[in-house]
A and B are shown apart, each in its own frame.
Chain A
Amino acid sequence: MVDESFLKRKSIQIRKDLLEMIYNAGTGHTGSSLSNTDILTALYYGVMRIDPENSNWQDRDRYVQSKGHAVESYWTVLADKGFFPKDELKTFSQFGSKLIGHPNNKMPGVEMNTGALGHGLSISVGMALGAKKDGKSYRVFTLMGDGEQAEGSIWEAAMAASHYKLDNLIGIIDRNNLQITGSTRDVMNNEPLDEKWKSFGWEVIEVDGNDVVELVEVLNNAPYKTDKPTLILANTVKGKGVSLAENVVGWHHKVPSEEEYKQAMDELTERLEVLK
C-alpha cells in the first residue's frame, strides 16, 4: 500500500527543493516544473520499478520526459531518490554543469536527451517495442506537455504505438492548459485531446494530475486494455502549490524575486506542517 501522507509530503518537499534550486541558479521553468511535480512524485515514489544504485538495470521501468524543459522537478526527484548526490543540484544551469536546463543522459537516471519537443513518444515507442521483442515486462512512461501536442511527430508516434499494440507504453499529458505565449486553446487549440487519442487507438484515462495519490493508483493499474497503449490525461495547474504562480502564464520560465521566493517557501512549509 502506498503511504498517502508520505507521498503528499514528498511532493511538497520536492517543490521546495526545486524552488530553492531555481532561485539560487537564477533560471528555470518554475511554473512547468510545479505543474508536473505530482506526476514525477507518483512515478518515482509509487509506481516505477527502478534501482538508483543500479541505474542501468536492464529490467527497470523507463521514463522519458518529452517536455524536457520542465526539468527542475526531474533533477530534484532524481537527486532525492539517490541517483546522484543532492549537492549537485547546486550546480544547476551553472557553467559546465551536467545539470543543464534539459534532461541530460550524462546523469544517472536519465535515459535520453530531450528538450526538442515532440521527440519523446517516438523514443518511448522504440523502448516499448524493444521490451516486447525481448519478452521483458518493464513499462515505459512518457511525459508530454499539452502545448507539445501541436508537434506532428507526436501523432506519428501515437499511430505507431497502437499499430504495434504497445500496452507497455503509458503516455502522460501534463494538461495545464497554458504554454509560453498564453492559453493552449488560444495558441493552437488541440482539444478534444481525449477523442483525438482514442481515435488513434489509445485507452484514455483522465485524472487530477496534481493528486499524487490518485496518480499512483491510476498509473499502477495501467495498462487498462490488453494490446492498447494508455494515455493518462492529467489535468494540472501550472505553478501548482505556489499560489502566486498558479495559472499565471508569465511563470512558465520566471524566477521568483526574493520576496516571492520567501512567500512561496512559507506557503509550502506551512502545508508541510499541516501534513505532519
Chain B
Amino acid sequence: MNNIALKSRSGNKVANRKVISDTLLDLAKENSDIYVLTSDSRGSASMVQFGNELPEQLIEVGIAEQNLVGISAGLASVGKKPFVASPACFLSMRSIEQIKVDVAYSNSNVKLIGISGGVSYGALGMSHHSVQDLAVTRAIPGLHVMMPADRHETKKMIEALIDYDTPAYVRIGRNPVEDSYLNEDYDFEIGKAVEMNQGNDITIIASGETVRVALDTACALKDSDINCRVLNMHTIKPLDEVAIIKAAKETGKIITLEEHSIYGGLGAAVSEVVSQNHPVPMKIIGIPDEPAITGKTPEVFKHYGINAENISNIAKEMIHHN
C-alpha cells in the first residue's frame, strides 16, 4: 500500500468522533432509517451539529445507558439503523447485559460507538477510563469489535458498517489523532488487517491510536536496519487470524500494542491465535492491571512504555535474544 503515513506528520490531527459525526450526518441525510442515540452525550460525541441538522434522527435518552441500548435494539427490530454514541466506559460496562442480550443474542442491527475510550478522559480517573471494554465485548458471540486508527480509517469503517447488518462495538478516543493514512484511497475490509509496513524481522500488531506509535517505532527501527512489519488490526473481532499466523511464521516475533488492559484485549486475542497455531515469542504492551495513572494520553502512554523509544528497545532485545 502506498497511502500510509509512515513518517509522523504532526499537525494533521482530527478527532475520530468528529469524523463519525460528519460521516453519519452525510449518510443520514440520504437515509432516514439512520438514527443516532445519545445519553446526554451529544456534546462529547460531537453530535451537536447532527442533532441541529437532523433533529428527528437524533434520539436523546438521558443519562440512562441501559435504556439507551435497549431502545436501540427495539428500533433495530423495527428496521432502523441505530448508532449509539456514549462514553465507552459506561456503554461497555453499565449496559453490557443489554449489549449481550438485546443486541448480540437477539441479533439486533445496532452499532455501538464507545466514545472517549481508553485513557482519553485523562485526568478523570478510572471511573472514566475504558481499558476493559475490548475484553468484555470480545467475549460476546455475534458482536464485532473494532477500533479505527485515524480519521481516514474512521470514515471508511463507518461507511462500511452502514449496510453491514452484524451488531458492532466501535471504540474511539476523545482527542485529535495524528494520521496513519495519507487519504481514503484504499480498500477497507471488515475483519482484514492492514499491513501498514512491510518487514520480516519482527511484527508489531496495533489497533486504534497505537497504530501511530507502531508506525513511529517501525521508522525508528529502520534506522537500525531492522525491518518491522506493522499490522493494523482495526477489527479485533472477528480477528484476522491468517495475517497473524503469517506474521508469526514469517517474522518469528510479535509485539502487540493497545490502549487497553494487558488482560483480555488485542494482545490476548493475538496470543490465543499464535499459541495455538505457530507459537513464537510475544510481548504484550498495554495498560497494566492497575487503575491507570491520570494525565494526558501521551503522558500516560509514555509512563507505560507505549512509545516508539521503549518499543524499539523491546524489539531490539527480542531480535538480539533470538
**A interface residues (Cβ-Cβ under 8 A, vs B):** 58, 62, 64, 105, 111-116, 118-119, 121-131, 133-134, 152-153, 156-157, 159-160, 163
Contact = CB atoms under 8 A, between A and B. Distances in A.
A126 B35 CA distance: 11
Given A113-B106, A116-B97, A156-B66, A123 B78 contact: no
Interface stretch (B2-10, B69-77, B170-178, B253-261): B69-77
Given A122-B73, A126-B70, A156-B67, 15 more contacts: A62-B77, A105-B106, A112-B77, A115-B101, A116-B97, A122-B70, A122-B74, A122-B102, A125-B67, A126-B71, A126-B76, A127-B75, A129-B75, A130-B79, A133-B80
A123 B66 contact: no
A119 B59 contact: no
A127 B74 contact: yes
Among A118, A125, A130, residue most surrounded by chain B Cβ atoms (within 10 Å): A130
Contacts of A160: 61-62, 64, 67, 71
B105 interface: yes
A126 B101 contact: no
Nearest to B64: A156
A119 B78 contact: no
B98 interface: yes
Contacts of B223: none
Interface of B: 56, 59, 61-62, 64, 66-67, 69-80, 82, 97-98, 101-102, 105-108
Main DSSP-derived SS at the B contact region: helix
A119 B75 contact: no
Contacts of B61: 160
A112 B73 contact: yes
Contacts of B62: 156, 159-160, 163
A156 B64 CA distance: 6
Nearest to B78: A130
B67 A133 contact: no
Contacts of A113: 101-102, 105-106
A125 B64 CA distance: 13
Given A125-B70, A126-B70, A112 B106 contact: yes
A123 B59 contact: no
Main DSSP-derived SS at the A contact region: helix
Contact of A123 (B56, B64, B77, B107): B77
6 contacts: A112-B74, A115-B101, A122-B69, A127-B78, A156-B62, A157-B70
Given A153-B70, A156-B67, A122 B98 contact: yes
Contacts of A119: 70, 97-98, 101-102
B80 A153 contact: no
Nearest to A164: B59
Given A116-B97, A160-B71, A131 B78 contact: yes
Nearest to A131: B78
A124 B74 CA distance: 6
A157 B67 contact: yes
Contacts of B98: 119, 122, 153
Nearest to A120: B70
Given A113-B105, A153-B66, A123 B71 contact: yes
Nearest to B72: A126
A131 B80 CA distance: 10
A114 B71 contact: no
Given A113-B105, A133-B56, A160-B61, A126 B75 contact: yes
